[in-house]
Chains A and B, each alone.
Chain A
Amino acid sequence: MPSTPSESATARLGRLLTMVPWLVNRQGIDLTRAAADLGVSVAQLEADLRLLFLCGYGQMPDELIEADWEGGRVFVGNADSIARPLRLGVDEAVTLVVGLRALREVPGLDERDAVDRALAKLEAAAGDAAGPAGRVRAEVAQGGDAELLARARRAVADRRRVHLRYVVPARDEATERDVDPMRVIGIDGQWYLEGWCHRAEDTRLFRLDRVESLDVLDVDGTPPPQATERDLAEGTFRPAPDDVVVTLRLLPGATWVSDYYAVDSIREVTAADGGGEVVTLRTADTAWLRRLLWRLGGRGWVLEPADVVAEVREGAADALAAYPVPGD
Chain B
Amino acid sequence: MSSQSGGGAPSAAQTKTERLLNLVLVLLYARRPLSKAQIRQLVPQYGSNASTEAFERMFERDKDELRELGIPLVTEDIDALWEDEPGYRIHQRDYALPDIEFEQDELAVLGLASRTWAQASLAGPAAQALRKLRAAGVERDADALIGIEPRLRTTEPAFDAVKDAVLRRVRLRFDYRRPEATEASERHVQPWSLVSWHGRWYLTAFDEDREAPRVFRLSRISGPVRTVGPAGAFEVPEDHQAEVMARDAADPGTRPSPAVLRIRGGTGHALRRRARTLGDVDDTWSLADLDYTDLDGFAEELAGYGADVVVEQPAELVEAVVARLRGARAAHERGEA
Contacts and interface: CB of A to CB of B under 8 A. Distances in A.
The answer on A and B forming one complex is yes
Interface of A: 1, 7-10, 12-19, 21-22, 25-26, 38-39, 46, 50-59, 65, 67-71, 81-82, 84-96, 98-100, 102-103, 106, 109, 111, 114-115, 117-118, 121-122, 124-125, 129, 132, 135-142, 149, 153-154, 156-157, 167, 169, 172-174, 183-190, 210, 212, 232-233, 235, 252-253, 255-256, 259, 271, 274-276, 290-302, 306, 309-310, 312-313, 315-323
A58 to B, nearest CB: 6
A255 B182 CA distance: 10
Given A293-B328, A319-B306, A118 B106 contact: yes
Contacts of B94: 87
B307 A315 contact: yes
A173 B129 contact: no
A134 B186 CA distance: 27
A141 B301 CA distance: 22
Contact of B324 (A81, A86, A91, A294): A294
A25 B153 contact: no
Nearest to A38: B131
A109 to B, nearest CB: 8
B69 A297 contact: no
A254 to B, nearest CB: 9
A67 B21 CA distance: 15
Contact of A121 (B68, B106, B196): B106
Contact of A50 (B5, B112, B148): B5
B306 A157 contact: no
B206 interface: no
A87 B70 contact: yes
Given A137-B242, A174-B269, A301 B334 contact: yes
A13 B122 contact: no
B150 interface: yes
B2 A68 contact: yes
Contacts of A115: 109
B1 A70 contact: yes
Pick the 9 closest A-B CB pairs, nearest first.
A298-B327, A189-B199, A99-B113, A297-B324, A275-B182, A188-B199, A92-B129, A1-B124, A57-B29
Nearest to B149: A185
Given A58-B42, A291-B304, A118 B110 contact: yes
A7 B334 CA distance: 52
A157 B145 CA distance: 7
B128 A92 contact: yes
A1 B148 contact: no
A97 B105 CA distance: 16
B17 A252 contact: no
B161 interface: no
A38 B28 CA distance: 24
Contacts of B22: 55-57
8 contacts: A21-B135, A57-B26, A82-B24, A86-B96, A103-B113, A125-B100, A294-B324, A320-B326
Given A122-B110, A136-B193, A188-B199, 15 more contacts: A9-B17, A9-B20, A85-B135, A86-B71, A95-B116, A95-B126, A96-B114, A135-B236, A136-B167, A183-B149, A187-B153, A297-B324, A298-B331, A315-B307, A318-B306
B25 A57 contact: yes
Nearest to A8: B13
A235 B326 CA distance: 34
A13 B20 contact: yes
Given A51-B18, A70-B1, A138 B196 contact: yes
Contact of B181 (A14, A149, A252, A319): A252
B219 A259 contact: yes
